[in-house]
Amino acid sequence: MGSKQSIIQNLSKTFQNENTWVGIGEGLVKIMAIIILSNLVIKIGKITIHNMFKLRSRSPLRVSERREATMEKLLDNILSYVVYFASFMMILSTLTIDVKPLLAGAGILGLAVGFGAQNLVKDIITGFFIIFEDQFSVGDHIRVGQFEGNVESIGLRTTKIKNWTGELHILPNGSINQVTNFSLNNSVSVVDVGIAYEEDIDKAEKVIQELLVKLPQQYEDLIKVPELLGVQNLGPSEIVLRIIAETLPMRHFYMARMLRKEIKMALDANGIEIPFPRLVMYSRQNETKEPGSN
């Protein structure tokens, strides 16, 4: 009981001392100042990084926009990690905790963890080579295994891919073995149009060709005039004509829909029929009975 009372008395004296509250107040003020200063440094640093890339966009020695967007987000993340780590160390120092043993122990701990965290090391090394080799960048449309979508961000450890339906897939970089990048080269739209057998194929091809010449002026996604290849197939009730169009990367789906719409309107305007499925029905008459049959 005596020891407990002495502890309580010591605590009471400590908290009744003005110097104690002054020290606590100074510590809280320093911690708040460190947090505010850290957020300010991060904000100014990100603005500086973004302005640097804006200036590079006007330089004749600039790299691709894809790579610039990737590097910009990566530098933002690195800046945040570095500032937050430095702030954490400063807060510990403010709390009169010696950070030197922690830093020394962190090196030994990191060495020990490195042997057991081979997957983490693999992720970081793979992420470095993805960025260094420019395999894909932020904004690219890629397929990795069963996952396909737009790249939201690339880090040293993970890559985030957003599907067109909204799902966000977070993949460890070490698991990315094969990548299909749809955004590096131009895409191609393939459109098949059916023409009725009763129609004049030469007239239909002429109408479509005249339309295709005008389309690049209406749609910026078209790289050049779409090409009418000719008769692709002889179907059950139609002659199929095939049209191909080179488009900007990942704009082929949109242009295929627009081509079908424009071709349908042009054929209707010239009285050329696009066939629909037809069903012929036969009515069997009652069979006549032979003489002598019941």
pLDDT by 10-residue block (mean), the chain, 294 residues: 57 58 71 84 81 64 61 74 80 70 56 59 78 79 88 82 88 86 87 88 90 90 90 86 90 91 91 76 60 51
Measuring CA to CA, which residue among 101, 234, 89, 77 is closest to residue 157? 77
CA count, 13 A, side-chain hemisphere, 160: 11
Specify the pLDDT at position 42. Answer: 83
Q: What DSSP designation does 172 have?
A: E
Do residues 70 and 154 lie in contact, with contact meaning Cβ atoms separated by under 8 Å?
Answer: yes
Specify the pLDDT at position 167. Answer: 87
Specify the pLDDT at position 102. Answer: 58
Measuring CA to CA, which residue among 255, 241, 239 is closest to residue 207? 241
Q: Where are the extended beta strands (E) located within the chain?
A: 141-144, 147-154, 158-162, 168-172, 180-181, 187-195, 227-234, 239-247
User: pTM above 0.75?
Assistant: no
* Gyration radius (Cα) of the chain, Å: 35
Domains contained in the chain, CATH given: 2-116 (1.10.287.1260), 126-181 (2.30.30.60), 187-269 (3.30.70.100)
Task: Give 15-21's long-range contacts (Cβ < 8 A, gap of 24+).
Answer: none
Rounded to whole angstroms, the Cα distance separating 140 from 136 reads 6
Specify the pLDDT at position 61. Answer: 47
CA count, 13 A, side-chain hemisphere, 89: 12
Count CB neighbours of 193 within 10 A.
21
Place of tokens 């009725």: 196
